[in-house]
Structure 1
Amino acid sequence: MPTPDPRVDAYIANAAAFAQPILREIRQRVHDGCAQAEEAIKWGMPAFLYQGKLLCGMAAFKAHATLGFWQRDGAAGNDEAMGQYGRLCTLKDLPGKREFASQLRQSMQRIDSGTKAPRRAPRAALPMPPAFALALDAAPAAKEHFQAFAPGYQRDYLEWIGDAKRDSTRNQRIEQSIAWLSDGKHRNWKHEKH
């Protein structure tokens, strides 16, 4: 196994207690299946490289962890969370060792052959909540920033507002969104590195 990256050690140590064994298991499985895998931090999360190419990555959040293979078939996946295996809350949520090893081998073969993984079809656009549209019309700077954002950043706002169960919550989120958008901030700006 190549020298462990101390940044990955620190990431795992700082993860929530439930996530630490999941992240350690993923790390061990990657190194068991790919002796040449190098560790790195990409987008603030642990990643594994093979021949300098991104093989897979993992992340931990407040209530779940994720695992994602980058060199995979576009058809396979779970849109419930960032990785294709959905929200991982316990070791039992990880794919079986054989499935994991198979996915790892397939990803390595794709890198070896130079074949690019097929792109997933883009997700359908979310509807604009009418109250949000009215608020954007009343705040030209916010509207300009929103329209200039990539579809994923727009989707972050639309999902957050659309997921509100109560009108009062939805209205608070719209008000907060307009304030952030007026400053040109993405929905998750607090978590971005500046």
Structure 2
Amino acid sequence: MNKKVTEYINSKEKWAQELQVLRSILLKLPLEEAIKWSAPAYLYKGKNILGIAAFKNYFGLWFHQGVFLKDEAKVLMNAQEGKTKAMRQWRFESLADLNEELVKQYVLEAIDNEEKGLSIKPKRNTKPVVIPKELQDALDNNQKLKDQFEAFSLSKKREYAEHIASAKREATKQNRLQKIIPMILDGKGLHDKYKNC
């Protein structure tokens, strides 16, 4: 049992008991428990199989490659129709909704699908990063800032560039620029505070 998963479950005012029951089912299966994306994750041979989480009106699990599950009981849903390709959710509104044998059946099928290599890989964003003039001027005038920015991944560079470019008014662009300069100098991505797992 992963200590951080225990902390996650215990931190939930609502659904803690339900998550513990769901967790106890998953721990009976050949899965490794971890925290990923700030939530409990369950892996098989190092590969993401599913995760569990609590939300305002439900608790549930999601299968990373759920699109390949037969879903004979018709319990899975695509949380973002048209956007999410592989992931599928299974939502529960009470303990009464939780059928241990059915959960095990779906998880074992997901493990089997992983063994078969069934997966949809996310497409990487390959469009070039367009640096807005305001950010480019700041980079050109501060070598340390430029060095830190260049060390970022393409996605982090894109986040910063789009953050400045998306402002409509010049004053807003300048305000945003002044706020992000210390973050760049600290080597932090724009959204790192939300990725604290």
Question: TM-score, normalised on structure 1?
Answer: 0.59
Instruction: Please report how far the alpha carbon of residue 106 of structure 1 lies from its aligned counterpart in structure 2 after TM superposition.
Output: 5.2
1:53 to 37, 47, 50: 47
Output aligned runs, 1:158-173, within 5 Å. Answer: 158-164=161-167, 167-173=170-176
Matched residue type, 2:119: A
Output aligned runs, 1:28-67, within 5 Å. Answer: 28=22, 31=25, 35-42=29-36, 44-58=38-52
Matched residue type, 2:124: P
Mapped pair 1:110 → 2:104: no
Unpaired segments ≥5 residues, structure 1 = none
Q: What corresponds to 2:121 in structure 1? A: 119
Q: RCO (CA 8 Å, sep 6+): is it higher in 1 or 2?
A: 2
Identity, % of aligned pairs?
Answer: 26
2:135 to 122, 132, 135: 132
Distance 1:9 1:116, change over 3 A: same
Matched residue type, 1:49: L
* Secondary structure at the counterpart of residue 15 of structure 2: helix
| Deviation string, structure 1 residues 160-186 (Cα, Å, up to 9, x no partner) | 434556544432221122222233333
Distance 1:71 1:154, change over 3 A: same
Distance 1:130 1:37 in 2: 49
2:15 to 2, 11, 21: 21
Whether contact under 8 Å (2:64, 2:88) holds in the other structure is no
Instruction: Please report how far the alpha carbon of residue 48 of structure 1 lies from its aligned counterpart in structure 2 after TM superposition.
Output: 0.8
CA RMSD after TM alignment: 4.7
